[in-house]
């Protein structure tokens, strides 16, 4: 056997071995890339990977939009009106909610939320009077008596009406709170950093995925944790260093270990009622955008804002504005 023949055989074997190694490497990469079990995210890591999770990896990818769907024989009709249940006429959060509804030209009715959960009439002549219900205080909804809560849930399921709720921590709030009637835990009075929008959330309309770097305003943030597949994080933030992020809890589908969910959406898989819950008020600018998107999502785009924007330029800014602020040729041409 000549040296050339032996060399060609060894070279052929070497090439086959390299091709086999490449094939195995590709299979392992594909397995870890598309597997639903992803490694835990620690506080030292960047927040973007959890926020940019593709929809194909979400446990909700098989759900029709909107969920849960109406039975084909059911015809529901609700007025395009929002029922806002506030603590008082002068509460700051209540006024912020009303200001957003007014600026969007959404019709609403404001009522004082009672301690027992009494509600105004929800139906009239066979149709629903409200397309959405907003609670300024989430506990007024959670602690409503059984009768009123059943009536509310019956209305929400029959007329496809969603619920938005806010929870604001106080110095007397327990560190961990179980929300009555729902598989949801609240962790209160936290200082959080680097809030990011989860790109896989079907709620997003005006809001774009991304990360807002830096400390979030205040140290009274509430985060949500649930093991039920109905709940998905919309906004995530990392806990301040030294805080007990996670505290040994098991983050369920739609959540990320090491990150706190400050806004969550309930897909309606638990009891048929869709919800969006906020872990603070509307002092944070991203919460205002998410609120507008939540209104649009929960009303099935009945109350929504378009994506077109118009810019109004006051003529005074061009001709009689203060020197240094007037528009000039360079400003118009964009040089």
User: pLDDT of 217-246, one tens digit each?
Assistant: 999 999 999 989 999 999 999 987 644 444
Find the mean pLDDT for residues 54-68.
38
pLDDT at position 319 is 67
CB contact at 8 A, 260 and 245: yes
Q: How far apart are CA 25 and CA 32, in angstroms?
A: 11
Does this model's pTM top 0.75? My answer is no
Strands 132-135, 162-166: pairing kind: parallel
Least confident of 23-32, 130-139, 201-210, 269-278: 23-32
Torsion of CA 209, 161, 109, 169, to 10 degrees: -50
pLDDT at position 57 is 30
**Crossing angle for the helix pair 285-298 and 92-103, nearest 10 degrees?**
60
Q: Which two tokens stand for residue 118?
A: 């009494």
- Alpha carbon of 225 to those of 33, 63, 67, 255, 261: distances in Å? 25, 21, 21, 8, 7
Number of CB atoms found within 10 A of residue 89's CB = 10
Q: Reply yes or no on whether the pLDDT at 321 is more than 90.
A: no
pLDDT at position 183 is 93
More confident residue, 106 or 125: 106
Q: 253 falls in which pLDDT band (50, 70, 90)?
A: low
pLDDT at position 256 is 52
pLDDT at position 12 is 80
The SS3 of residue 80 is: coil
Find the mean pLDDT for residues 303-328.
75
pLDDT, tens digit, 9 for 90 and up, residues 79-112: 999 999 999 988 999 999 999 999 999 999 999 9
Percent of the chain with pLDDT over 70: 75
More confident residue, 31 or 95: 95
Tell me what the pLDDT averaged over the chain comes to: 80
Q: Reply yes or no on whether the pLDDT at 1 is more than 70.
A: no
Q: How far apart are CA 146 and CA 211, in angstroms?
A: 40
Find the mean pLDDT for residues 251-261.
64
In residues, how long is the chain? 335
More confident residue, 202 or 57: 202
Find the mean pLDDT for residues 109-116.
90
Q: Reply yes or no on whether the pLDDT at 148 is more than 60.
A: yes
């Amino acid at each position: 056997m000549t040296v050339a023949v032996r060399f060609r055989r060894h070279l052929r074997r070497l090439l086959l071995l390299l091709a086999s190694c490449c094939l195995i490497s590709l299979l392992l990469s594909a397995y870890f890339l598309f597997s639903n079990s992803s490694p835990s995210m620690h506080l030292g890591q960047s927040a973007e990977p959890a926020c940019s999770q593709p929809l194909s990896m979400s446990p909700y990818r098989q759900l029709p939009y909107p969920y849960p769907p109406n039975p084909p024989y059911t015809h529901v009709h609700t007025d395009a009106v929002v029922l806002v249940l506030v603590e008082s006429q002068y509460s700051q959060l209540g006024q912020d909610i009303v200001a957003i509804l007014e600026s969007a030209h959404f019709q609403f009715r404001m009522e004082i939320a009672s301690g027992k959960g009494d509600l105004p009439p929800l139906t009239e002549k066979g149709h629903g009077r409200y397309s959405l219900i907003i609670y300024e205080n989430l506990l007024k909804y959670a602690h409503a008596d059984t009768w009123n809560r059943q009536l509310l849930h019956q209305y929400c399921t029959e007329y496809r009406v969603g619920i938005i709720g806010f929870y604001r921590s106080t110095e007397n709030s327990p560190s961990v709170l179980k929300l009555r009637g729902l598989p949801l835990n609240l962790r209160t009075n936290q200082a959080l950093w680097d809030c990011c929008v989860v790109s896989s959330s079907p709620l997003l309309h005006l809001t774009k995925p991304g990360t807002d770097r830096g400390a979030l305003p205040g140290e009274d943030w509430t985060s949500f944790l649930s093991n039920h597949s109905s709940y998905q994080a919309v906004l995530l933030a990392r806990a301040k260093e030294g805080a007990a992020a996670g505290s040994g809890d098991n983050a369920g589908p739609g959540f990320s270990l090491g990150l706190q969910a400050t806004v969550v959406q309930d897909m309606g898989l638990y009891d048929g009622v869709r919800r969006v819950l906020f872990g603070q008020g509307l002092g944070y600018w991203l919460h205002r955008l998410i609120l507008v998107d939540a209104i649009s999502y929960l009303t099935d785009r009945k109350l929504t804002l378009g994506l077109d924007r118009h810019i109004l330029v006051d003529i005074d800014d061009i001709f009689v504005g203060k020197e240094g602020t007037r528009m000039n040729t360079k400003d118009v041409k964009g040089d």
